[in-house]
Amino acid sequence: MRHIRYAVLVWAALGGVAAAQSPTAADDSRGYIEGVAQSAFGNVTSQSFGGEIGVKVRPGLQVFVDGGYVRDTTPGALSSRAQSIAADISTKAGGGTYRVKQPVTFGVAGIKYWLPVDQSRFAPYVMFGGGMARVQEDTTFTVATGNVSDYVAVGSDLVGTQTKGMISGGVGVDVAVGRSFYVDLQYRFGRVFTTDGLNINRAGAGVGVRF
């Protein structure tokens, strides 16, 4: 009786796995391409735009390339440095303002794993990859009288560009719209290995087509 009970349990488990692994539209396709719009958030909130392409390497597994542009990722340390210098300039020049912005352009490649589900319209996934990011520190100062250079020399810690390694991970779910088109509801986390380290959170949606 015990062996029969175990056999029944194993059969039920295998039956559940088989049902859970029903093919989705993502499994049936050779690959996909999509455009993405996201909200990027951290120390500041801005927007991110980009695109992604993937190719199937085996059932449930794809390789992907993801690239995009984040409009602003200014960390607190950069804002504090700029604010401190602006206050000093304003005191000397009798007034002044500043603007600080840190856009990031990135590209990563990696693998995407489709989680098994018991229906075909929704296709959840997890993904992980690595690549490079170009981080641009863009700080400008204005003064009431004269030129900024009369009061301060802006250093590379406020203005400059650095290209560093990046890792990225994410989760999401594709919602099929017909057989070829889909909407991708997604979240991405990226870590750029700058001197102080830069985290980029992105949440949004993509619209894509499978081929």
Domains by residue range for the chain, with CATH: 2-210 (2.40.160.20)
4-18, 83-97, 183-197: which is most confident: 183-197
Average pLDDT over residues 39-57: 95
pLDDT at 8: 39
pTM of the model: 0.79
pLDDT the model gives residue 10: 35
What confidence tens digit (pLDDT) does each residue in 112-128 have? 999 988 767 899 999 99
Q: 116-142: buried (b, 16+ CB within 10 Å) or exposed (e) per residue?
A: bbeeeebbbbebebebebbbebbbebe
pLDDT at 18: 37
Confidence of residue 55 (pLDDT cuts 50, 70, 90): very high
Read off the DSSP letter of residue 9.
H
